[in-house]
Amino acid sequence: MKKEYNVTGMSCAACSASVERAVNKVAGVEKVAVNLLSGSMSVEGSASESDVIAAVKKAGYGASVKGKEGTPSGVRKDEDTMKTRLVSSLILLALHLYISMGSMAGLPLPSFITHHVNAVLQLTLSMVIMFINRKFFISGTKALLHKSPNMDTLVSMGALAAFIYSYAALMLMLLDPMGGHMYFHELYFEATSTILTLITLGKTLEARSKVKTASAIQGLMNLAPKTAVVERNGREETVEVSQLVKDDVFILYPGAAVPVDGVIISGVSTLDESSLTGESIPVDRSEGENVSAGTMNISGNLRVRATRVGEDTTLSQIIRLVNEASSSKAPVSRLADRVAGVFVPVVMAIAALTFILQLVFGAEFSYALSRAVAVLVISCPCALGLATPVAIMAASGKGASAGILFKDAAVLENTGKASVAVFDKTGTVTEGKMKVCDVIPLSGSKEELLGAASSLESMSEHPIAKAVATHAASEGITAEKAASFRALPGYGVEGTLNGIELKGGSVKFISSVTEISADVTEKTESLSKAGKTPLLFMSGDRVLGIIAVRDDLKGDAAEAVSQLKAMGLRTVMLTGDNEKTAKAIAGEAGFDEVISGVLPSGKEEHIRRLQKTGRVIMVGDGINDAPSLTRADIGMAVSGGTDIAMDSASVILMNSSVKAVPAAVRLSRKTLTIIKENLFWAFIYNCIGIPLAAGVFTPFLGWSLNPMFASFAMSLSSVCVVTNALRLNIMDVFSRAHDRKKTFRKEEETVEKTLVIEGMMCSHCEMRVKKALMAVDGVVSADVSHEKGTAVVTLAKDIDADVLKKAVEAQDYSVLAVK
């Protein structure tokens, strides 16, 4: 069971690592992921909410169960709080710097401000700034007491070290009123004030960037209206959307947003669905069609019956998916997480070592202290902690606005690494709307052919069956439904009418029960080459005729395939259609490879074979796609598909346009690039900054770093990481302008052998032989044809011919030769 929590008090990657360690120790917790950016945590397992919350609190942080709305917790509130602190700190810092350094800059100071008065004023201003920014000290001390020091610990220790040293110098000044002014130059109160103010500046900019990063998610939440016009007791009433229940009838006037999901009872209108699908062109909706919460009614008036309300609406589910993806962790962040877990203690040790070594090599106490303080304040675990989650959140939001929903961060990362894209044909590459294009009677009239076909197909829910039945009805054919109806998936249908046996289906199926003439075979092949699917129908022992159906290619299918190929992916079309029809459709779309004649149960097998060459994307929409969507490394379900397909997929495409597939790959690759850039700069910043602050380069190059500049650099480092991720917000995921062809590892070499087999009579024989061959270790695929009397076997390694021969002969067939 998965539960979501809000976590408060985290300031850096060390904090999130500490929370993860604490929750992982709770009995019943199987998996935990903490997101520093959104202040959220997802926990899988049987652990109780109270135990999880108690563990977080024991670690020094706050926790609560996330509200049902699943909003990003406190992001905008943090920004407002930071702004107030920053403005106050900046005003006081300006005054502090004027008093402490004004004379050095030639600025006049009032005559009453002597060295002693100056020092006391600096102490006062520094203490006020420390009070304003007391959160650093409270959080840092709590973390230290819980043995999990964080960024606030480093900042507070650096600021406090400079303050204590300066306070000691001030006491010496006050104890010696006459000669104490010599200690005036040992005051570093301005360093304390500057460090805290600049860190607050960085945190404010970071909070502002976080708000922008979460803006896409917040935008989704703002799509649904707060009120709705409902019909109750014969009158129209305006009620809160939260009061709507299933089966309520609500009214949509032009310009109104749809409050919940529903089905149109009456009216015709045009709706803008771009907020959910990313498709800018408005769509026409009429009676019987569905509308989704968050979309906009443009023209006519509609009466709609609510079908899904509250958390069940499409919009609510999208928000939940985006939040879950944003809160999850990408595999690429594992190294950063490991480093973050030990980063702060290591930095504290380096600071202590720096101080000791500077003193050992003869440096003055104040100089040694300034080096140690610089090390503490320049170190930035924030950049490491934000490098991945800020990019994931931005990408998840960007994907949602384009109608692409990634279920978790791992999927978002791996989509761009896929080397093969496999498409189901019907409803994915094609429109999914079968139409009868040819009716060819052979041994009877057109009416008899359509009548027999309608009797059978009216009993089936298959898209092809519906097309045939609809066409027959449009021709005025009213046929009695067949009795003893039976559907044979992948082959056809059969039944009886008035005691006469009827059969209908593929050429392969009919040829297995009767002999087909060369003339009929020629006609079916001609139809197949034209991209049509020929169906044969029998009444008794007569072949009544041919009915050909066609499913037109989607308008953007060829462009989508072209884009994927340009990015280096191998494109494959997987279909149950016969070879000639499949090749015709695949040729129009431009696929690299077509796999035809695949039964629903065989799709997973082909996905498994393709996975031997690299990561595989499977795009589908039907119930029979569910196993292959689950088997693929990345399963993409096209909107409008079945609920089972949606549940099985790891990416949901809200728009039926297949151009969303290359867009998803493009977004994934860009996100991964930004994550790698962020991690590189986070690591390189600390690798250069810490030695520079410690004074390692001073003896050789004369380089050193003042603690105040160190705090400024630390502030900018996390801001740069967040700002870099914000580039995703302006990315056009559908533009191929910056696509680059990616080179993948060479495909595994395979061996192909052909077995000449005697004794196969029908499709059932084919299945027996294929099953026997696929059971042999090393066999990748087997293409068996009883018509040709062959089995073409693809092998991952060279297998002895006798092994293949024995496997087939064990099924009571004779193998005449192995080529």
**DSSP-derived secondary structure for 349-414:** HHHHHHHHHHHHTT--HHHHHHHHHHHHHH--HHHHHHTTHHHHHHHHHHHHHTTEEESSHHHHHH
Phi and psi at residue 370, in whole multiples of 5°? Answer: -65, -35
- H or E stretch including 157? helix 151-175
Q: Is residue 424 annotated as part of the catalytic site, yes or no?
A: yes
297 in Cβ contact with 253 (< 8 Å): yes
Q: What six digits make up the tokens of 508? A: 């392969």
Task: Give the integer Cα–Cα distance in Å for 26 and 229.
Answer: 48
> Amino acid identity of 161?
A
- What beta strand segments (E) does 575-668 contain? 593-595, 616-620, 634-638, 651-653
225 in Cβ contact with 251 (< 8 Å): no
Q: What six digits make up the tokens of 665? A: 């790959």
244 in Cβ contact with 259 (< 8 Å): yes
115-132 vs 189-213: helix crossing angle, rounded to 10:
30
The CA-CA-CA angle for residues 334, 69, 262, to 5°, reads 120
Q: Which of 152, 424, 551, 783 is catalytic?
A: 424
**DSSP-derived secondary structure for 760-810:** --SHHHHHHHHHHHHTSTTEEEEEEETTTTEEEEEESS---HHHHHHHHHT
DSSP annotation of 742 reads P
Residue 636 bridge partners (DSSP): 619, 651
Q: Are strands 249-252 and 227-232 parallel, antiparallel or unpaired?
A: antiparallel
In Å, the largest CA–CA distance within the chain is 125
Q: What six digits make up the tokens of 284? A: 């026409």
> Amino acid identity of 218?
Q
**DSSP-derived secondary structure for 280-349:** -S-EEE-TT-EE-TT-EE-SS-EEEEEEE-GGGSHHHHHHHHHHHHHHS--GGGHHHHHHHHHHHHHHHH
Measured in whole angstroms, the distance separating CA 593 from the mean position of its chain's CA atoms is 27
Task: Give the integer Cα–Cα distance in Å for 24 and 298.
Answer: 51
Region label for 75, one of left (φ > 0), alpha (ψ between -120 and 50) or beta (otherwise) = alpha
Question: How many Å from the N-terminal Cα to the C-terminal Cα in the chain?
Answer: 54
Catalytic residues: 424
